[in-house]
Amino acid sequence: MRDRPGAGFLAFIVHRGTGIVLALFILPHLYILYFLGDPARYEAIRRFCSRPLARLSEAGLLGLVLAHGLNGIRIMLLEAGAPSRIQKTLFRAAVIAGLLLFFAGARLMMR
């Protein structure tokens, strides 16, 4: 049942995986924001979130968002009428833009 993974198939798998993780991420995110009503607890959580490992996972979150968002733009362009023959070019463009934005963003985050 193995298919040779084409660009579109790879994009689909990544889109689905990142999508599920990001959707589930809403829950802990809101849970942390719940402590906005308790400044001391909130600040404690925030201090925890500025530790190196937490920051690294924050960069990972940026990666997930970029992968999902850029491929989302690719899909929307194609569904809005961009010709199918450019789907692989768009995929490559999304990968390059994603990597550039990821390293630029991660640099800002890890400062």
Partner 1 sequence: MKNKNPRQKKLAAGWFLGRASGLLLVLLLAVHFTVIHFERGGQEKIPGRSAGFHGAVFLRLSHPLWWVFYAVFLSAALYHGFYGLRGIAAEYIRRERLLASIRAGLLAASIALWAAGMLILVNSQLLLANPPALCYKCHARGSIPSCRAIRFFGFGAINKK
Partner 2 sequence: MVSKKFKIKRFDPEKDIPGGKPRWEEFTVEMDPFERLLDGLVRIKEAQDGSLTFRLSCAHGMCGSCAMKINGKNALACQTLAKNTPEAVVLEPLPVFPVIKDLVVDMDPFFEKIGAVMPWLVADGPHPERERSQSPEELGKIMDAIKCIMCGCCTSSCPVYRADRDYLGPAALVKAARFILDSRDATWKERLKAVSGENGFWMCHSIYNCYEVCPRSIDITGYIAWLKRLAVKKMFFPPKGQR
Binding site for partner 2 (CB under 8 A): 1-4, 6-9, 11-12, 15, 75, 78-81, 83-84, 87
What is the contact surface with partner 1 in residues (CB under 8 A)? Answer: 16, 19-20, 22-23, 26-27, 30, 33-34, 36-37, 39-40, 42-43, 46, 49-50, 58, 62, 65, 69, 72-73, 76, 79, 105, 108-111
Q: Which of partner 1, partner 2, none lies near 32, with the C-beta cut-off 5 to 8 A by kind? A: none
Nearest-5° angle of CA 45, CA 33, CA 50?
30
Dist CA 47 CA 40 (whole Å):
11
The nearer residue to partner 1, 7 or 72, going by C-beta atoms, is 72
Closest CA to 71 of 79, 83, 61: 79
Residues in the chain: 111
Q: Least CB distance from residue 17 to partner 2, whole Å? A: 13
For residue 104, the one-letter residue type is A
